[in-house]
Amino acid sequence: MSLPAATAPSSSGATQPTEQQGGSRERRVESLGWLTESAVMPKKHKAIEGVGAASILDLKAQLYRTQEEARNPTAPGAAASGGEFRRAKIRSAPTDPLGAKNSGVESRAHKDKLELKAVKDGSASYAALEKKAELYEKLYRGELPDEEDKEKYCVDFFQKSSDRIYEPQMPEISHRATDAAEPVNDHEDSMPNAKPLGLGRAGTTIDRDEHKRFVREVHEEVTEARQKASTVRSRRQEQDAARREKLRQAYLKKRLEKLIAEKQASSASDDLPS
């Protein structure tokens, strides 16, 4: 009578671990494979523009095929590692998965060929020149509005004309008064005046009278140099002419002496008795 009572707790104790194992197994099955300790959720796969799904599938198939060949013990690599050397069979593959092209590759290649042909023919540069000429015509006529961002260039075409229009006209009386008041100093007058134009920028301006004086001095120096060069050239020509005349006189003198000697020799031969 005591044996069944003793065995009953043992059976109930054996069923409790099995129930705990079943509950843990159920919890493991219910897991979705995410990191439960972290709040990071799996990101959605981003589609790549211009890459089709066919190429991805071909690459995955090739990867799976390579892994299967590595796991297969009858593969050439496994046979070589086991000491058996077998000659690989040459089989023509019907399709090359690595050579498959994505969607849009052929269209891009065709577009590149057309652009290269246009560059070689010169049609692209001709079209760019036509567009630039049309833009310049619009700028000249003032028909280019500010809203056209595509037609804008980095060059400010109206800067020179605006500077010329808004340039302050100083009266001559003020210039004369300042010239009479300030002492004459060539070094100070020739120095340019610096004025700030912005952060780290400065522009230099030179007086118009000083600029004219510099231009006049340069013109005088050039004229003097030209006169000096012309005198040297004429003197050299005179020396060359004198040298040629001297050589000509020497040649004529030598020729005359030779003719006189020949005439004397012929007359002497005629005077001899026959």
Distance of CA 52 to the CA centre of its chain: 33
State the Cα–Cα distance between residues 172 and 178, nearest whole angstrom.
10
The model's pLDDT over 115-142, given as tens digits with 9 standing for 90+, comes to: 888 777 777 777 888 888 887 777 777 7
State the Cα–Cα distance between residues 221 and 224, nearest whole angstrom.
5
Provide the percentage of residues in the chain whose pLDDT is more than 70.
Answer: 46
The mean per-residue pLDDT over the stretch 161-181 comes to: 51
State the Cα–Cα distance between residues 214 and 221, nearest whole angstrom.
11
Beta strands per DSSP E along the chain: 193-198, 201-205
Q: Report the pLDDT value the prediction gives residue 131, as an integer from 0 to 100.
A: 83
Distance of CA 131 to the CA centre of its chain: 22
The pTM assigned to this predicted structure is 0.23
Instruction: Look at residue 259 and tell me whether its pLDDT is greater than 70.
Output: yes
Q: Report the pLDDT value the prediction gives residue 89, as an integer from 0 to 100.
A: 66
In this structure, which amino acid lies at residue 258?
Answer: K
State the Cα–Cα distance between residues 192 and 207, nearest whole angstrom.
8
- Residue 108: pLDDT band (50, 70, 90) is confident
Q: Would you give the DSSP letter of residue 184?
A: P
State the Cα–Cα distance between residues 62 and 97, nearest whole angstrom.
7
CB 58 within 8 Å of CB 100: yes
- Residue 239: pLDDT band (50, 70, 90) is very high
- Residue 160: pLDDT band (50, 70, 90) is low
Instruction: Look at residue 75 and tell me whether its pLDDT is greater than 90.
Output: no
Per the model's pLDDT, the better-predicted residue between 35 and 1 turns out to be 35
The mean per-residue pLDDT over the stretch 235-253 comes to: 93
Structure tokens at 16: 């409790």
The model's pLDDT over 2-58, given as tens digits with 9 standing for 90+, comes to: 444 444 444 444 444 454 555 455 544 445 555 555 666 667 767 777 767 667 788
In this structure, which amino acid lies at residue 37?
Answer: E
